Structure 1
Amino acid sequence: MRRFFVRRRIMSAVAMAALAVASAEPATAQFGGIVYDPSNYAQNVLTAARSLEQINHQIEMIQNQATALINEARNLASLPFSSIAQLQAQVQRTQQLLGSAQRIAYDVQSIDKTFTAQYKGVSLASSDQALVDGAKDRWSNSVAAFEDALKVQAGVVGNIDGARETMSSLVTSSQSATGALQAAQAGNQLLALQSQQLSDLTALMAAQGRAQALDAAQRAAAQDQAREQLRRFLAPGTGYQPGTVSMFHN
């Protein structure tokens, strides 16, 4: 930039000198057969000065275009760090924990079938052993659901360290981004990290809700069964019926 201003000053000085020569009275001189015309010389100097100024202007335009291209290249550069694979692996681990639910799975048809068979009322025709077996099955469902919830909790807690490392890498990449595209990609990956954490929270709430719902259903079914067992206990029996007894044989 400093050399550019120096060139401009030299050009201005040359132009002023040329104008001074041109404004003087025209004169000619001859040296060894060569005719020297000061007016023509001044015109040539002015033409050269204008040409030099145009060249400098074109150089400045080319420099500006080069700077613009460099900035565009920076804006189009992709972020060198990607956390998508790690986030997808964490989501997949949580899905596997939900998919390994014991006894009653996260399936509408399976839940409807199990509740119809085990929770929706006690059959009056069931035997006492059938009542005991049904109560045991419902208790086992509740225990398994609480175990599944604890496993999901452990998986979500295990994902915290990975989320922390991913967030640190993304923040570092965002701060060192050289263009708009890299900054946008870092922001998108941070949103993906938040989505992964929300999916973990959703899975945790689903597992806890499942355990609580099964426990509440087990208590409701136990109350219904207790009423039936009490009714059977209080129901009047046939009582004592007298009959003939033979104690000795002839």
Structure 2
Amino acid sequence: MKTDILRRAILAGVLATSGMIGITATTPAHAQLIVKDPTNYAQNVLQAARALQQVNNQITQIQNQATSLVNEARNLASLPFSSLQQLQQQVEQTRQLLNQAQRIAYDVQQVEQAFTGRYKGAALTGTDAQMVANANARWEDSVGAFEDALRVQAGVVGNIDGARSAINSLVSASQSATGALQASQAGNQLLALQSQQLADLTALVAAQGRAQALESARSAAIEAEGRERFRRFRGN
């Protein structure tokens, strides 16, 4: 009796074990559990974040380089306005007025020759006819010098309107300059304008000084001639 019971228990255990093995063998592959490693996942996320940060840094560098190139382009841009041609024309006009000086020009040799022949020495002690001719020549020198001075004055005054227009344009251009080169060019043109105005002032002073010098020389020559005439009258 006990032997039958033991046999039945062994048989039941074997059947149970066989059934479990069959179930395990026939279980589909997709029904098995998937095992994930948290450490590996965290490392992948960290690598992706670092890659994204590198990309952002590269984008920032490219943006900075683009901004630098734009600034360099602005610094190298030329000023759209130039007054140099106008200033050169004004200087040339003043120079032509000086070159048109009558009688005694702005030349050292001509001045020496004129004073030797009409203002001193034998010119003041010649015959009465020579003295009269020299006095008339000196008068013409003075009149011509005063006329030349007035013409130079008129030319300088005429340049004032052009200078004012150039100043307005240059100041406006300098205030709207987008780069260092434009600001520098505007400053250089303002300096050129000042040089042109100084040239006009120099020409004006020279013309007035010439006229006053010739008139003073004429007055001195008249005084010398008066003494010579008095000496001759007293001798006679």
Query: Is the contact between residue 170 and residue 186 of structure 1 (CA under 8 Å) also seen in structure 2?
Result: yes
Given the superposition, is the C-alpha separation of residues 149 and 123 from structure 1 closer, same or farther in structure 2, using an over 3 Å criterion?
closer
Contact 2:146 / 2:208 at 8 angstroms: preserved in 1? yes
Q: Could you tell me which residue of structure 2 aligns to residue 248 of structure 1?
A: none
Q: Which runs of 5+ in 2 are unaligned?
A: 1-28
Q: Which residue of 1 aligns with 2:60?
A: 60
Aligned partners of 2:213, 2:54: CA distance in 1, in Å?
83
Amino acid at match of 2:230: L
Cα contact 1:163–1:193 (8 A) shared by 2: yes
Where do 1:65-104 residues align within 5 Å? 65-104=65-104
1: distance between equivalents of 2:200 and 2:124?
Answer: 44
Pairwise CA RMSD of aligned residues? Answer: 1.6
User: Aligned AA for 2:87?
Assistant: L
Once structures 1 and 2 are overlaid, which stretch shifts more, 86-95 or 118-127?
Answer: 118-127
How many residue pairs get aligned? The number is 207
SS of match in other structure, 1:137: helix
TM-score (norm. length: structure 1): 0.79
The alignment status of 1:145 with 2:142, answered yes or no, reads no
Cα 1:153–1:180, aligned 2, differ >3 Å: closer, same or farther?
same
Question: What is the CA deviation profile of residues 97-143 of structure 1, one whole-angstrom value per residue up to 9, with x for unaligned ones?
Answer: 00000000000011111101111134576221111111010011001
Higher helix share goes to which structure? 2
- Residue 157 (structure 1) aligns with: 157
In our comparison, the structure showing a higher alpha carbon Rg is 2
Letter in 1 for 2:219: R
CA deviation digits over 1:183-217, x for unaligned, max 9?
A: 01100100000000000000000000000000000
1:43-54 matches, within 5 Å, as: 43-54=43-54
Looking at structure 1, the residues matched to 78 and 31 of structure 2 have their Cα atoms a distance apart, in angstroms, of: 71
In 1, distance between residues paired with 2:59 and 2:31? 41
Answer with 64-73 or 119-128: which moved more: 119-128
Distance 1:52 1:208 in 2: 80
1:219 matched residue in structure 2: 219
**Cα separation, 2, equivalents of 1:65 and 1:31:** 54
Q: Secondary structure at the match of 1:146?
A: helix
SS in 2 for 1:101: coil
**8 Å contact from structure 2 (residues 81, 173) kept in 1:** yes
Q: Which residue of 1 aligns with 2:118?
A: 118
> Could you tell me whether the CA contact under 8 Å between 2:84 and 2:189 is conserved in 1?
yes
1:69 to partner: Cα distance? 1.2
Question: Which structure has more RCO (C-alpha within 8 Å, separation ≥ 6)?
Answer: 2
**Contact conserved, 2:75 with 2:182, CA < 8 A, in 1?**
yes
Instruction: In structure 2, give the amino acid aligned to 1:211.
Output: A
Question: How big is each residue's C-alpha offset from its partner over 1:156-197, in whole Å with a ceiling of 9 and x where there is no partner?
Answer: 000000000000000000000000111011001000000000
Amino acid at match of 1:173: A
Cα separation, partners in 2 of 1:164 and 1:123, compared to 1, 3 Å: closer
Counterpart position of 2:168: 168
Contact 1:121 1:221 in 2 (8 A): no
Go from structure 1 to structure 2 and tell me whether the alpha carbon gap of 1:125 and 1:178 turns closer, same or farther (over 3 Å shift): closer
Report what 2:186 is aligned to: 186
**TM-score, with length taken from structure 2:** 0.84
Q: Is the 8 A contact 1:77 1:181 kept in 2?
A: yes
Distance verdict in 2 for CA 1:31–1:182, change over 3 Å:
farther
